[in-house]
Structure 1
């Protein structure tokens, strides 16, 4: 029976390594593999009279449960990339999280915190996805360049983040899932020496991550 357990562990390790080699951004294999290992260990302990059988059952259940969030995130990422193609919104996968980057020049008018009407459609697509995939926590973060006083930029970034959050809520996304942050000029993704660089820094980001990670 020990051979069966060893076989499960060996097979899982191969799967994990293969999954990472083929696609480092695909979390399904990783989550599933971890679930298999955990399930096998638990099953072997619980099935004292037949550890091999217990490990096999545990591995199967653990694999299905472990693959759940990875599969979920993969599907949502693919959907968002397809729906937001050509909208100007960037989609990034960072570990377990998905980040949507919305440039300020297409989301807000200069010095305004009111969402531009021509941006309603992309936000509607985002809201629809967030309602379908409702197992993630949502953090909306506003960013600015460094022009003007820091306090003004902090206030503007918070107002813009709240405006996006309010719009998502108006489209049916649960407000209990959403938090907002005004980062002002403190987290630039480019320099602030040219207008093109400052434009990159003026943005709103929507960060999606598993609820149990806050």
Structure 2
């Protein structure tokens, strides 16, 4: 058994040694995060096979495959499924490293000055919940935004209520509350010009940030 463990460890170190990137500022070599995740999974899964019977190893195979895929691949698959499920819904899907962002404009989610979700948007949120339920190793920030029309305190409260409405709906579809963190930022983070109707419509939105849980 010791021989098997040693071989697996050496193999993992070899993988790590061959998959590094150089920091452009310091010149130091760093192992890519997804590679670290995958190699660590390879060690764990290898030890399962080396120390337990074949039935136990087979039962662990699905989990080992997910670990070995790495954070990047895990988020790649989730992004692809979200894009497929939300095609034509009006929800924007963006990717930044190991984080996925969903942008939900208020014109498809809420009536003016309301925080109750439009029934026509249920199917889109159901599609989001379906994917989030499948990919459990993520945390979810639900952030509400408004345009600059009206008083700041009113806008902040409205954005908070809208974020909570989306979070509550997702929770009702089976997403655990401990994965969901709703916030209301009011008019403080515009993405377009509040001096135009089009710009204001872009600023009125709910964003869902899907972030991989670090191993």
TM range (shorter): 0.7 to 0.9
Give the C-alpha shift of residue 72 in structure 1. Answer: 1.2
Alignment correspondent of 2:160: 158
Residue-by-residue CA offset, 1:120-152 (whole Å, 9 max, x unaligned): 000000011111011111110000000000000
- Counterpart mapping for 1:1-150 below 5 A: 11-13=18-20, 30-35=32-37, 65=67, 67-150=69-152
| SS at structure 2 position matched to 1:179 | strand
Give the C-alpha shift of residue 32 in structure 1. Answer: 4.1
Tell me if structure 2 keeps the 8 A contact 1:12–1:37.
no
Task: For structure 1, list consecutive stretches of 5 or more residues without a partner in the other structure.
Answer: 18-28, 41-62
Tell me if structure 2 keeps the 8 A contact 1:32–1:66.
no
- Hey, what's the Cα distance between the residues in 1 that align with 2:12 and 2:178? 43
Tell me if structure 2 keeps the 8 A contact 1:32–1:65.
no
| SS at structure 2 position matched to 1:139 | strand
- Hey, what's the Cα distance between the residues in 2 that align with 1:125 and 1:5? 38
Q: Given the two structures, how large is their TM-score scaled by the length of structure 2? A: 0.73
| SS at structure 2 position matched to 1:184 | coil
Tell me if structure 2 keeps the 8 A contact 1:12–1:36.
no
- Hey, what's the Cα distance between the residues in 2 that align with 1:173 and 1:39? 26
Residue-by-residue CA offset, 1:5-51 (whole Å, 9 max, x unaligned): 997566424xx69xxxxxxxxxxx944434578899xxxxxxxxxxx
Alignment correspondent of 1:180: 182
CA RMSD of the aligned region, Å?
Answer: 3.2
Tell me if structure 2 keeps the 8 A contact 1:31–1:66.
no
- Hey, what's the Cα distance between the residues in 2 that align with 1:5 and 1:102? 42
Residue-by-residue CA offset, 1:139-178 (whole Å, 9 max, x unaligned): 1000000000000000000000000011111111111111
Give every structure 1 segment of 4 or more consecutive aligned residues whose post-TM-superposition deviation is greater than 6 Å: 4-7, 36-40
Task: For structure 2, list consecutive stretches of 5 or more residues without a partner in the other structure.
Answer: 1-10, 23-30, 43-64
In structure 2, the CA distance between the partners of 1:11 and 1:111, relative to structure 1 (3 Å rule), is same
Q: Given the two structures, how large is their TM-score scaled by the length of structure 1? A: 0.73
- Aligned residue pair count: 179
In structure 2, the CA distance between the partners of 1:10 and 1:173, relative to structure 1 (3 Å rule), is closer
- Hey, what's the Cα distance between the residues in 2 that align with 1:66 and 1:5? 11
